Each structure stands twice: as structure tokens, then as C-alpha cells.
Amino acid sequence: MRDTTQIFQVSTLYGAATLAAALDAGQFGPRGSARRVLLVSNNAGTPETALRLDEMRGYTRIASRFDDVISWNDAIRPYHPSTWGPRGSDVGLWQKAFRLAWDIDEHELIELAVESIQVNPGRALAAIFSEASVHVYADGLMSYGPTRDRLPLTLSSRIQRLLHLDLIPGLTPLLLSEYGVAPEIVPDAAFRAVLDEISQDTAEDPQLAPVLQEAPTAVLLGQYLAAINILSVDEEEDLHLRMLAGAAAAGHKSVVFKPHPTAPASYSQALTKAAAEAGVRLTVLDAPLLAETLYHHARPELVVGCFSTAMVTASHYYGTPVGRVGTALVMGRLKPYPNSNRVPLAIVDHLVADLERDADPATVGAAPASLSPLVRAMGFCMQPTAYAELRETTADWLRAQLGSLPAGYFPDARLAELGLPSSAQARAKLQVRRAKRVVRRAVRRAGNG
């Protein structure tokens, strides 16, 4: 009889690749020590019409690491994975039902690995398997930001660790730190090996071939900012046009645009017209491929985006220079202040060259000394109750730095709400210091005269 079943919940190929790397690195024990189940969740608004994980190139190689693959959508149909969770009185019944359906003995231990413990389906799985130990894995820049919602002690005490990619060496994730959850890095070599493995599956992909024939030297990354109501459709379309203009200004004449799967076709049409007017060859890669697969095969000299994690993976794992466009616009639009995109956006804004200010694209190295205090201060302002111990250090840091920070990082209204130094006060103090320096210089000149 088996002793343990490990259930790995995923919704994206990037997340599945992160788990595969952790498995390959032995972070879940040796193969054969437990039954491994890949539980696939499609969290799109309309899952029936959205791209499925098993349609992504490279999925088969990832799935081969598991003993069984199960669809969470099928298991809970007709409910939606993002909204469904069991009622408290029903969790025992659901556990019995899933153990029976998934061939898990009633005495068998269960371990869960979920991509987010704050929302469903991870939250629902943790409730159903209420005795299971929980491992959380974070596959992007959001691991550096704060935990979005307070977790009950019965759940937080079961979380064993936070597995994450070391995208910004030297920056420690804030996520789940208030519960004493230790972060654990998924080794770079293991993750890069998984990305290379996925890329091998796409070498002969018919949708990739025409892109490679154009020998693109720059990649533009579309996101889904209109789909989540941060920008309007017109604003996001304009953002892509600005990316193209930035790449062209940097000297690139062959560019590939990789739209987000939820993007409307009009985005590509507008870019095609703008590229023709700018004398740039544009190809569009609207295919079920990871951006990293494109980096592997095309070897671009530049990747342009707003604040996509794929920008940082281009730099960290492929040594490709990156440039940003539109981060200030998006920072000003994020609502409410605790929006989970805020820290990833600030990281990219802080580290990546702004193409619209003639900055030279470059790779992102280790975290500078200025980054961790910024992330911690922002994390406190986003979730002041969870990170109450950061109040004094945040206040001290704001007094010293706020006057020089970009607009939108710490809005005056939020600072006033939290009783922290405001930017108006900081600007006033900065003006006083500058005035004093001017007076001192004038006095010195008079004395020398």
C-alpha cells in the first residue's frame, strides 16, 4: 500500500515548469517515494473556450513526470475553479468523494502543492484535505509581494515552505513571511533545463517557423491589462504601439509580437500598420508557446514589455537585454492600493531601462541595495495589519526617500490613511534642504570674495 499521494495543482505551463524543476531537483523527494498527481485547473473566465494547458507545446514532457493527470474542472463541474469552494460542513464529504474518484486510500497521507493558497482552487483543496501539509509555489514576480488575504491559523500552520524562482537574486520574497514560512529557491539550472526541454518540443513547430525566418532581433510582450480592467482596450493597444516605437528607436528592424492569449485580434492589426509605417518587419506569434521558447530559438537581442515576468526570465535565464514601456501609466491606474500587481510593477520600474527615456536596454542583475527597502515599504502600505512590524522602518525610509520616488508609488491619500509621512511633507523638507545649500554656497562665495 502507498503511504503518500502528492497532489500538484497547476493552471499555467510556466507554473508546471516550475514544479517540474523542483521535482527534478529532488525538492519533493525521490521519484517513486510517493504517487504524484498533476491536478490541472483552467481558471479562464470561460474555460470551455480558452486555451487548455494540454494544448501548450511542451506539456507532454512536463506531464510525464507525474503518475496521473486529473482535470479539476471536470471534478467540480459545473462550478468554476476560481469561485467554487466547499461549505464548511461538506468538506468531509468532498474529501471522501475525491479520495474515491482519484483512487486514494482513506488512510493514505496527502501532500498539496498549490500555486496560490489565498484563492481557489488552492484554498478549496486545502480546505477539503484539511490534514494535508501544504507547499506553495510561486512562479513569478508576485512572490516578492505581500500575502493578499489573512489566512486562518488552521491553514497557515500547515504551510511548509514557499518554493520560488530566484528571478531577482538577493531579494527575499515577502509572500507568507508573516506566518514564518521559509522561502526555498528552485535551482536556476533545474528550471533552465526544463525550459530547454520544452523548447525541444517546438523545434519543428509550423507556427514558429515563419517567425524564425524573419530573424527577429526584438520581442514585444503583450499582457492582459485590459482584461483585468487596469487599462482600457485602446490604452493597451497604444501601449503595444509604444513598445514597437521603443524597439524601432533602439535600432531593431525585425520584431516579433507575442500577444497574451486573451488579447483581441485588433492589437496585432494596429501593430502591423504601425510597423509598416516605421519600416519595421513585424511578425505575430499567436501560438500556444511559452515566451521562453521563443527566446530559446530566436535568440533576440531585446525583449520589451510593461512588467511581465517573462521580461525578467529573458534577462535572468537567457542573458537578453530588456526594456520597459508604460510602467508609470499602469502604476497610476492600479486600484485598490493592495493590488497584487503593484510590487511586480515596482520591481520592473526600478530595475529595467525605460525605452521612452532613451535608456540603454540591459540585463537585470542582483537586487541593488535600494530594492528590498522599497519592496518592504510597499508591502507594509499594501497590507499594514499583516506586516505591522514594518511600520517604523517604513516611516523612517519614507522620510528619507519619498521626495525622490516616482509619482504613484506611495499616493498621499494612502499614506495619510496609514498615518505615514506624505510626499508633500517630503517635498517641502527637500526644498528646505536645497534652499539651505544655496544659502551656504552664497555665504561661502561672499566670504571668499
pLDDT higher than 60, residue 149: yes
pLDDT higher than 70, residue 246: yes
Instruction: Give the predicted TM-score (pTM) of the model.
Output: 0.91
DSSP state of 162: E
In a domain, 67, yes or no: yes
The rounded distance, in Å, linking the Cα atoms of 306 and 293 is 19
The per-residue b/e assignment along 46-59, b for 16 or more CB within 10 angstroms, e otherwise, is: ebeeeeebeebbbb
Task: Spell out the alpha helix ranges (H) of 186-290.
Answer: 188-200, 209-213, 233-249, 265-278
**Contact predicate 322/311, CB 8 Å:** yes
- Clarify whether residues 208 and 319 are in a common domain: yes
- Clarify whether residues 221 and 336 are in a common domain: yes
Domain count, the chain: 3
- Clarify whether residues 384 and 274 are in a common domain: no
The per-residue b/e assignment along 361-381, b for 16 or more CB within 10 angstroms, e otherwise, is: beebeebeeebbbbbbbbbbb
* Nearest to 237, CA basis, from 260, 270, 192: 270
In a domain, 446, yes or no: no
pLDDT higher than 80, residue 2: no
**Contact predicate 162/182, CB 8 Å:** yes
**Contact predicate 248/274, CB 8 Å:** no
Its domain, for residue 388, covers: 371-430
Residue 278: what residue type? A
In a domain, 192, yes or no: yes
Give me the chain's average pLDDT, please.
Answer: 93
- Clarify whether residues 218 and 264 are in a common domain: yes
Summarised one tens digit per residue, pLDDT across range 287-324 is 999 999 999 999 999 999 999 999 999 999 999 999 99
pLDDT given at position 293: 96
In a domain, 442, yes or no: no
- Clarify whether residues 50 and 183 are in a common domain: yes
Summarised one tens digit per residue, pLDDT across range 55-108 is 999 999 999 999 999 999 999 999 999 999 999 899 999 999 999 999 999 999
The per-residue b/e assignment along 60-74, b for 16 or more CB within 10 angstroms, e otherwise, is: ebbbebbeebbbbbe
Of the pLDDT bands very low, low, confident and very high (cuts 50, 70, 90), residue 264 is low
Summarised one tens digit per residue, pLDDT across range 171-186 is 999 999 999 999 999 9
The rounded distance, in Å, linking the Cα atoms of 272 and 278 is 10
**CA quadruple 232, 236, 239, 244: dihedral positive or negative?**
negative
Which range (7-11, 112-116, 189-193, 204-208) has the least confidence?
204-208
- Clarify whether residues 303 and 397 are in a common domain: no
In a domain, 188, yes or no: yes
For residue 448, what is its C-alpha cell?
571668499
pLDDT given at position 50: 83
- Clarify whether residues 298 and 418 are in a common domain: no
pLDDT higher than 90, residue 260: no
- Clarify whether residues 403 and 318 are in a common domain: no
CATH of the domain at 217: 3.40.50.1980
Share of the chain above pLDDT 70, in %: 95
What does the pLDDT average to over 343-368?
A: 96
In a domain, 163, yes or no: yes
CATH of the domain at 164: 3.40.50
- Clarify whether residues 43 and 107 are in a common domain: yes
- Clarify whether residues 151 and 128 are in a common domain: yes
In a domain, 362, yes or no: no
pLDDT higher than 90, residue 444: no
- Clarify whether residues 326 and 399 are in a common domain: no
The rounded distance, in Å, linking the Cα atoms of 248 and 8 is 43
pLDDT given at position 266: 67
In a domain, 441, yes or no: no
